[in-house]
Amino acid sequence: MHGLFQVRDRLVVVTLLIAIVALVISVVALATRSVAPTSLAVGPVSGVYVNGHSGVPHYYVTLENRGNGVVRGSMDYLYQDGQTSVIFTFNGWSEKFGSHGTTGSLTLSTIKVKGFAAVSNGASMVPSTISAQYSAKQLVFGECSVYLKVLSLAACNFTLNDSGLL
Protein backbone atom coordinates (compact mmCIF):
# COMPACT_ATOMS: atom_id res chain seq x y z
CA MET A 1 0.00 0.00 0.00
CA HIS A 2 2.85 2.33 0.84
CA GLY A 3 4.24 2.08 -2.75
CA LEU A 4 0.81 2.87 -4.23
CA PHE A 5 0.61 6.15 -2.30
CA GLN A 6 4.06 7.19 -3.51
CA VAL A 7 3.08 6.63 -7.16
CA ARG A 8 -0.20 8.46 -6.67
CA ASP A 9 1.57 11.35 -4.87
CA ARG A 10 4.06 11.63 -7.74
CA LEU A 11 1.22 11.69 -10.25
CA VAL A 12 -0.48 14.46 -8.28
CA VAL A 13 2.76 16.48 -8.15
CA VAL A 14 3.40 15.99 -11.88
CA THR A 15 -0.21 16.91 -12.70
CA LEU A 16 0.06 20.03 -10.54
CA LEU A 17 3.33 21.00 -12.22
CA ILE A 18 1.78 20.59 -15.68
CA ALA A 19 -1.22 22.69 -14.61
CA ILE A 20 1.08 25.42 -13.24
CA VAL A 21 3.18 25.47 -16.43
CA ALA A 22 0.03 25.67 -18.56
CA LEU A 23 -1.27 28.51 -16.40
CA VAL A 24 2.02 30.42 -16.67
CA ILE A 25 2.07 29.96 -20.46
CA SER A 26 -1.53 31.22 -20.70
CA VAL A 27 -0.81 34.27 -18.54
CA VAL A 28 2.33 35.13 -20.55
CA ALA A 29 0.46 34.72 -23.85
CA LEU A 30 -2.40 36.92 -22.64
CA ALA A 31 -0.02 39.58 -21.29
CA THR A 32 1.97 39.59 -24.52
CA ARG A 33 -1.18 40.02 -26.58
CA SER A 34 -2.40 42.95 -24.50
CA VAL A 35 1.02 44.69 -24.39
CA ALA A 36 2.12 44.03 -27.95
CA PRO A 37 1.90 47.05 -30.23
CA THR A 38 -1.23 47.19 -32.29
CA SER A 39 -1.38 48.23 -35.90
CA LEU A 40 -2.34 51.64 -34.52
CA ALA A 41 1.11 52.00 -33.02
CA VAL A 42 2.66 51.66 -36.46
CA GLY A 43 0.15 53.94 -38.16
CA PRO A 44 1.20 56.95 -40.16
CA VAL A 45 4.02 59.01 -38.70
CA SER A 46 3.25 62.70 -38.29
CA GLY A 47 5.02 64.84 -40.86
CA VAL A 48 5.01 66.09 -44.43
CA TYR A 49 4.78 63.52 -47.23
CA VAL A 50 5.67 64.49 -50.80
CA ASN A 51 5.17 62.92 -54.21
CA GLY A 52 7.69 65.12 -56.01
CA HIS A 53 11.01 66.88 -55.74
CA SER A 54 11.88 70.28 -54.32
CA GLY A 55 11.55 73.07 -56.87
CA VAL A 56 9.16 71.07 -59.07
CA PRO A 57 5.34 71.38 -58.82
CA HIS A 58 3.91 68.49 -56.82
CA TYR A 59 1.36 67.46 -54.21
CA TYR A 60 2.26 67.14 -50.56
CA VAL A 61 0.41 65.87 -47.50
CA THR A 62 0.72 67.32 -44.03
CA LEU A 63 -0.34 64.64 -41.56
CA GLU A 64 -0.71 64.65 -37.79
CA ASN A 65 -1.16 61.33 -36.01
CA ARG A 66 -3.10 62.17 -32.87
CA GLY A 67 -3.09 58.57 -31.55
CA ASN A 68 -5.96 56.19 -30.91
CA GLY A 69 -6.66 55.84 -34.62
CA VAL A 70 -7.11 59.55 -35.25
CA VAL A 71 -5.20 61.40 -37.92
CA ARG A 72 -5.84 64.75 -39.49
CA GLY A 73 -4.18 66.80 -42.13
CA SER A 74 -4.38 68.18 -45.62
CA MET A 75 -3.29 67.53 -49.16
CA ASP A 76 -1.88 70.61 -50.87
CA TYR A 77 -0.36 71.47 -54.22
CA LEU A 78 2.95 73.32 -54.60
CA TYR A 79 3.03 75.45 -57.77
CA GLN A 80 6.15 76.36 -59.76
CA ASP A 81 6.18 79.87 -58.27
CA GLY A 82 6.20 78.47 -54.70
CA GLN A 83 2.57 79.25 -53.93
CA THR A 84 0.45 76.49 -52.45
CA SER A 85 -3.18 75.54 -52.69
CA VAL A 86 -5.17 73.31 -50.32
CA ILE A 87 -6.78 70.46 -52.24
CA PHE A 88 -8.59 68.92 -49.28
CA THR A 89 -8.37 68.45 -45.53
CA PHE A 90 -9.05 65.11 -43.89
CA ASN A 91 -9.41 63.22 -40.64
CA GLY A 92 -9.95 59.61 -39.66
CA TRP A 93 -7.97 56.40 -39.99
CA SER A 94 -10.03 53.37 -39.14
CA GLU A 95 -7.21 51.03 -39.84
CA LYS A 96 -6.67 47.42 -40.62
CA PHE A 97 -3.27 45.79 -40.40
CA GLY A 98 -2.21 43.80 -43.43
CA SER A 99 0.88 42.30 -44.97
CA HIS A 100 1.61 45.54 -46.84
CA GLY A 101 1.11 47.88 -43.88
CA THR A 102 -1.94 49.55 -42.47
CA THR A 103 -4.90 50.64 -44.52
CA GLY A 104 -7.12 53.45 -43.38
CA SER A 105 -10.10 55.45 -44.44
CA LEU A 106 -9.74 59.21 -44.51
CA THR A 107 -12.88 61.31 -44.29
CA LEU A 108 -12.51 64.56 -46.17
CA SER A 109 -13.74 67.51 -44.17
CA THR A 110 -13.00 70.31 -46.65
CA ILE A 111 -12.57 70.04 -50.39
CA LYS A 112 -11.00 73.03 -52.12
CA VAL A 113 -10.03 71.68 -55.51
CA LYS A 114 -9.17 74.35 -58.05
CA GLY A 115 -6.72 75.18 -60.80
CA PHE A 116 -4.19 72.60 -61.91
CA ALA A 117 -5.13 70.25 -59.10
CA ALA A 118 -8.73 69.93 -60.24
CA VAL A 119 -9.81 66.92 -62.21
CA SER A 120 -11.52 67.30 -65.56
CA ASN A 121 -13.70 70.29 -66.43
CA GLY A 122 -13.09 72.08 -63.13
CA ALA A 123 -15.58 69.79 -61.38
CA SER A 124 -14.39 68.21 -58.15
CA MET A 125 -14.42 64.45 -58.35
CA VAL A 126 -12.93 64.01 -54.90
CA PRO A 127 -15.00 61.45 -52.97
CA SER A 128 -16.02 62.17 -49.38
CA THR A 129 -13.96 59.22 -48.13
CA ILE A 130 -10.70 58.00 -49.60
CA SER A 131 -8.47 55.09 -48.76
CA ALA A 132 -4.81 55.33 -47.93
CA GLN A 133 -2.19 52.77 -47.06
CA TYR A 134 0.82 53.35 -44.85
CA SER A 135 4.03 51.38 -44.56
CA ALA A 136 7.66 52.31 -43.92
CA LYS A 137 7.18 56.11 -44.09
CA GLN A 138 5.14 55.79 -47.27
CA LEU A 139 1.53 56.85 -47.85
CA VAL A 140 -0.30 55.56 -50.90
CA PHE A 141 -3.63 57.18 -51.68
CA GLY A 142 -6.10 54.80 -53.27
CA GLU A 143 -7.03 55.64 -56.86
CA CYS A 144 -5.83 59.23 -56.54
CA SER A 145 -5.72 59.49 -60.34
CA VAL A 146 -9.52 59.65 -60.16
CA TYR A 147 -9.57 62.83 -58.07
CA LEU A 148 -6.16 64.45 -58.73
CA LYS A 149 -4.45 65.51 -61.93
CA VAL A 150 -1.63 63.01 -61.98
CA LEU A 151 0.11 61.34 -64.88
CA SER A 152 0.38 57.93 -63.29
CA LEU A 153 -0.61 55.96 -60.24
CA ALA A 154 3.01 56.33 -59.08
CA ALA A 155 2.05 59.92 -58.22
CA CYS A 156 -0.32 58.48 -55.60
CA ASN A 157 2.79 57.44 -53.59
CA PHE A 158 3.91 59.94 -50.97
CA THR A 159 7.16 59.64 -49.01
CA LEU A 160 7.84 61.15 -45.61
CA ASN A 161 9.94 64.25 -46.27
CA ASP A 162 12.92 64.23 -43.91
CA SER A 163 14.68 67.10 -45.68
CA GLY A 164 12.19 69.78 -44.67
CA LEU A 165 12.14 71.20 -48.22
CA LEU A 166 8.97 71.11 -50.24
Give the per-residue pLDDT at 159. Answer: 94
Task: Output the pLDDT for position 50.
Answer: 95
Domain boundaries in the chain? 2-36, 41-160
User: pLDDT digit string (tens) for 121-153?
Assistant: 344 566 778 888 888 889 998 878 877 877 776
Rounded to two decimals, what is the model's pTM?
0.65
Q: Which residues, given as ranges, of the chain have pLDDT below 70? A: 1-8, 11-14, 16-17, 19-43, 93-101, 110-126, 153
- CA–CA separation, 126 and 144 (whole Å): 9
**Closest C-alpha among 112, 72, 76, 105 to residue 90:** 72
**CATH level 3 topology of 41-160:** Lipocalin (2.40.128)
User: CB 6: neighbour CB atoms within 10 A?
Assistant: 9
